[in-house]
Amino acid sequence: MLKLCGLQFLLLIHLDIWLNLEGLSVTGPLKDMDFSVQEGGGPRILHQFKLESPAVSFRISGEKAGIIDIEPRTGILYINGSLDWETKQVHKLQVESLDESGKRVKGPYTVTIYVEDINDNPPEFNQTKYYGVVRQNSRPGKPFMYVHATDRDDPTTLHAQLSYRILHHFPNPYDEMLFQIDNATGAISPSRKGSYYLDPQKQDTFILVVSVRDMAGMTINAFTTSVDVIITVKESLWKAPPTIYIKENSTQVHPVSISKVQSNEPDVIYGIFEKEKLPRLPFSISENGDIYVTQPLDREERDTYTFFVVSKDNTGELVDKPLQIHVIVEDINDNPPVCQQALTIIEVQENEMGGSNIGTVFATDMDKKDTLNSRLHFQIQSQEPEFPLKNLFYIQQDTGTLQLAGRSLNKRESAKYFLKVLVTDSKFETICDVEVHVIDINDQIPIFKNSDYGSVAVAEDISIGSVILEIEATDGDEPATGSSLIIYQVKEGDPNNTFIIETDSETNRGFIKINKALDFETMPVYNLVINATNPEPLVGGVQYNSSSLTVLKVFVTNVDELPVFRKPIYRTEVSEDIPVNTWVMTVEAYDPEGDSVRYSLEGDVRKWLRIDSATGQVYTASPLDRETEEIYSVEVVVSELNNAAQKSKVFLILHLRDVNDNYPQIATDYPTFFCYPVSGGERTLIQATDADEQFFYSKFTFSLANEMNARNNWEISKFNATHAYLSLKHANFEENVYDVPIILNDNGKPPLENKVNLKVSICKCSSENSCFIDIDREHSWPTVGQAIGILLGVLIIIGAIVAGAFCHMRYKEKNEKSNPKDAKDDAELNRLA
């Protein structure tokens, strides 16, 4: 009771202060009201309800929580203590007024007190310590565990919004952390560096100190709690299996499981893609990571396969790095030996000694090289004929090399032998056919039918490739072999290979042909020594002798040839300003027979050149002009002095080098004019041109002549290297044509200067800003008055002609009444009409 009285005393003091401040805002009649009150904060006054007669007191009921009440006589609603949001967020109360007898006057009215949360609770983790496992090479940013904390404050406010972070990292061998945490969800995942560096062989355990702060971690006075997270690093499950070996042509029921892969993350989708594009990859992978071969493989078709296995999440993103899978197809002996040739033909000379290697029987096996499956053995199964001995041949069993077993072969005994060679591997066998040809040895030399073919005369202008003589030798060896084929060659007398001899392989005849052009003046006679040999070497003890030699004398007859120039074309360059009679160049020609020659020019249309007929020296005959023709071509004719019909021609091309010999001019493509009336300051663009090369007028200079009128009326300013502006200096110009004296300088070497009178028209202009009158009146169109006069004159003449014709027709009509109309009158009438 004492406490209540003390409280009432305290409330009265508060009330007195309160009413003196803003009584109207905190007092009022009894009605429904809502209040928002922060939790905590101790006793406080909320409101004062006013009594209205006949009411003398108030009464409150409802969720008072033992601390909410009203002073009956004064109507002060107060809290005697602290509210707690975590205990109750809303208090519902009913207030009514009573009269003297305790009967209700007004009410009950609802008073609702909303408790506002303050940040008075720190966050709490749901575990005192966390444990997690991460795999080596796990995807960065992919969570492998979570931490979780709660806050008892209002979740709709910052008071309960939590933010996670990693405070410490034990151990921390790198500058950057190997782990990262989502500050909103508490999801822990490897960082990009961690995904690369985490290795259980180096460090298998890490301790993370993870903190959580309320107020979303944005204020310094937020509550903070921390917890230890122990992480174990384990070896990656995502590993490429070792090389897979599969025996070819397997008879198992396919598909057959050959290996397995497993991702570090669950629920991934596995796939296969090829390193090389194949028509069909004979491998597949299941949703569990089992790798299958889908069909029997053939090593001879393909002995290795390389492909990649990938893991993806449900969005199609790669989870792990692709794994390369290498498959080797193991060989089995499933291929028989194969003869490299259907028939192996071996040639053996008669004089081959016993034990000589005469050839090799080649066979292959498609099974794996350098294994027992492809090891071959050779054996002679039969020999036909078995004469003079049964075993004339021997074969090395591992190499297939065929040898003579003992004695030499004799073609007279048998020209051919047929062998069947058995080739085997560990499982299969094959027969290879061999045919041995006994060939004649080269023990006979070619012999010429004529040891001297005399002489032959040939004109020096004979065509290359022409046949000049046919020769022949004979050989006693077996026909159509290398021992009997004859090769003819010029042994002596032809140092420049002017002749060539071709052999007809069927007849062994030789044809002597011209290989290079003949020249009587250089070599009038050839004394040829010709030999005949075989492509096959002679046997020991046999040598070529004089029987294989013949001689031939070739006389080259002279032909009157055309003169020849020393060069195929003559070119030179001269300056266009060289004086007349300046030497340009010398053209040289000669006659192969040594006759004298004379020179002349053809096509010298501009008469710029002349040539000394005896020496070929070319001079200028008149001034040259590059602007007329920059490249000047003429033909030089050389002919024999005693036979003008024997002549040759060559082009002489003269390049003229430009000099600065043309004065600059004003371009007159368009007339220069200003529209009348002028206001002064108008300008127009003028252009300078020069017939010389660009080198000499790359920069023009424009200026006005030193004349008073010109400088008072006009002004010139530079625009660029070839153009300038001509401007009016005032507006006092009449409609007229003016001559503007302009000095042009081309700044060449030497510089040329020219004074040009530019005609400038001041004229009335059309709406398109074009001048009505031309600058030059002498060649202009007639004026408007002149045009009207001309038109009237033409109309008068036409009217006179029409009137005369009409009168003539009337006169004819009168005559027709007395004279019949004939065809002539009709024609004349039609003509007049």
The answer to whether the 24-116 and 337-439 domains have the same CATH topology is: yes
CATH number of 564-657, picked from 2.40.160.20, 3.40.50.261, 3.40.718.10, 2.60.40.60: 2.60.40.60
Q: Are 584 and 619 in contact (CB under 8 A)?
A: yes
Res. 812 pLDDT band, cuts 50 70 90: low
Q: What is the pLDDT of residue 820?
A: 44
Options 1.10.490.10, 2.60.40.60, 2.60.120.380, 3.40.50.720; CATH of 244-330? 2.60.40.60
**Domain ranges (residues) in the chain:** 24-116, 124-234, 244-330, 337-439, 446-557, 564-657, 665-771
The helix/strand/coil state of 629 is coil
Radius of gyration, alpha carbons of the chain: 62
pLDDT in tens, 6-35: 444 444 444 444 444 343 348 999 999 999
Q: Of the candidates 375, 379, 378, 377, which has an alpha carbon nearest to the alpha carbon of residue 333?
A: 375
Q: Write down the pLDDT at residue 829.
A: 31
Q: Which residue has the higher pLDDT, 669 or 623?
A: 623
- Pick the range with the lowest mean pLDDT from 105-109, 441-445, 549-553: 441-445
Confidence of residue 350 (pLDDT cuts 50, 70, 90): confident
Q: Check: CATH 1.20.120.1200 for 337-439?
A: no
Distance CA 228, CA 202 (A): 22
pLDDT interval class at 503 (50, 70, 90): very high
What is the CATH number assigned to the segment(s) 446-557?
2.60.40.60
Report the candidate in 364, 357, 404 with the shortest Cα–Cα distance to residue 383.
404
Residue 437, pLDDT above cutoff 50: yes
pLDDT tens, position by position, 366-396:
888 888 989 999 999 999 998 888 889 999 9
Q: How far apart are CA 797 and CA 786, in angstroms?
A: 17
Q: Decide yes or no: CATH 3.30.300.30 for domain 124-234.
A: no
Task: Output the pLDDT for position 601.
Answer: 94
Average pLDDT over residues 703-716: 86
The pLDDT tens digits of the residues spanning 154-208 come to 999 999 999 999 999 899 888 889 999 999 999 999 999 999 999 999 999 999 9
CATH topology of domain 665-771: Immunoglobulin-like (2.60.40)
Question: Is residue 206 classed as helix, strand or coil in its secondary structure?
Answer: strand
Q: pLDDT tens digits, residue range 115-132?
A: 999 999 999 999 999 999
The pLDDT value recorded for residue 383 is: 93
Please give the angle made by the CA atoms of 298, 300 and 305, to the nearest 5 degrees.
65
Q: What is the pLDDT of residue 573?
A: 93
Which residues 6+ apart lie within 8 Å of 684 measured at CB?
672, 673, 674, 725, 726
Q: How far apart are CA 624 and CA 632, in angstroms?
A: 10
pLDDT interval class at 773 (50, 70, 90): low
- Mean pLDDT, residues 283-308: 92
pLDDT attached to residue 2: 33
Q: Which CATH architecture has domain 24-116?
A: Sandwich (2.60)
pLDDT greater than 90 at residue 580:
yes
Which has more confidence, 786 or 95? 95
